[in-house]
Amino acid sequence: MKTLIVVVMFSFSSMLLADESGYDQFKLDLLLAKRGDAGAQFYVADAYEEGRGVKKDINKAIEWYRMAAQNNHNGAQYKLGEFYENGLGLKKDLIKADKWYRKAAANGSRLAKARLAKVGSVKKDSSSKAKPQAEEKKKEEAHKRRLAEDRLRKEKARKKKEQQLAAARAKREKNRRAKQPKPVKVKQTTKKAPTAVSIPDIMDVVLHGKWTRHSRPASLLPSSLNRCLKAGEKEIVCFSKEQYRIVGNSQLTFTSKATLSDFNSKGQFTITYFYNVLDSAYSAEDDDEEIDPFGLRAEKGWQEPYLKITCQAKSRKQLRCSRAGQTFVYVR
């Protein structure tokens, strides 16, 4: 009998005096938790939540808290209410949070009682928070509505301005055409049509004329503005001095290079030309022609591609040229 007592005491002492590194509180709690001990279940859940003695795992923590709560552990019931309220590891559900807080409070949890005493109800506290959020959302929607209305108002104003500008351009074009001289009617006679004029003679008429339009020197033909010379059997080249013209709201300083070619016995020829804009300045002057009839643009430098105009010598003193459906009459 004495021997048996000594053996039992030695075994128990061996368990108590075992190396501390072999002692594992979590394993002991887990063993008891699996046997249904609510307190052990709570400690296992807390260990999983904090990562104490075991790898942190919020899902396993919730699983053991739920077991302990169902076993009427008020601390576990409070924790479930906290998780549901904050959406920690669980989908946020204030109704379930309120239920678990009330169960924990009824089961003696001071934390649950203090929480409910502070807000009255988690659901009520949520509604009080939702009210200012709803007001904020309402203000934001009203602000978006005002921005949309403002954009619509600006778009209408822009379209109206475009219509007014188009109407103004149409009016200027009408006035410009009204100011253009009517084409000179050539009286038809019963005289025999003159024989065809030679090309060198036509070129000579064009080259040695000081051509003008509306009493102003021609910008592309031989005139006081241009220095022209014969460059071949059927070609004349002209280089202009500095010229000035208003296009839209820009006053342009430019020169031009014009090549007169393709002369035929009917007095017809073609002018191909380039503009070189040297300077552009703002002009407050209201120009009747926003778009230059000869194609000059408010862009600095040589303007590509070349432009083209067709002409015919109607007589030794009159040239008629046309471009883009418009006719220009020059005299010498």
Answer with the one of 93, 120, 147 that is the final residue of a domain.
120
Domain of residue 243: give its range. Answer: 199-331
* 8 is a domain residue: no
> CATH number, domain at 42?
1.25.40.10
Average pLDDT over residues 18-23: 43
| Same domain (yes/no): 100, 215 | no
| Same domain (yes/no): 322, 208 | yes
* 139 is a domain residue: no
Confidence at residue 17, expressed as pLDDT on a 0 to 100 scale = 37
Answer with the one of 97, 120, 143 that is the final residue of a domain.
120
What are 247's strand-pairing partners? Answer: 250
- The pLDDT tens digits of the residues spanning 263-293 come to 998 999 999 999 999 999 888 775 555 788 8
* 162 is a domain residue: no
Task: Tell me how many domains the chain contains.
Answer: 2
Cis amide bond preceding 200, omega within 30: no
* 89 is a domain residue: yes
* 158 is a domain residue: no
Read off the pTM: 0.41
- The pLDDT tens digits of the residues spanning 212-232 come to 999 999 989 999 999 999 988
Phi and psi torsions of 329, nearest 5°? -105, 130
Answer with the one of 51, 86, 120 that is the final residue of a domain.
120
CB 61 within 8 A of CB 89: yes
Q: Does 276 or 117 have the greater pLDDT score? A: 276
Helices 74-86 & 110-119, crossing angle to 10 degrees? 40
- Cα distance between residue 118 and residue 322, in whole Å: 92
- Cα distance between residue 69 and residue 86, in whole Å: 18
| Same domain (yes/no): 204, 325 | yes
* 267 is a domain residue: yes
Classify residue 282 as exposed, middle or buried by CB count within 10 Å of its CB (0-12, 13-18, 19+). Answer: exposed
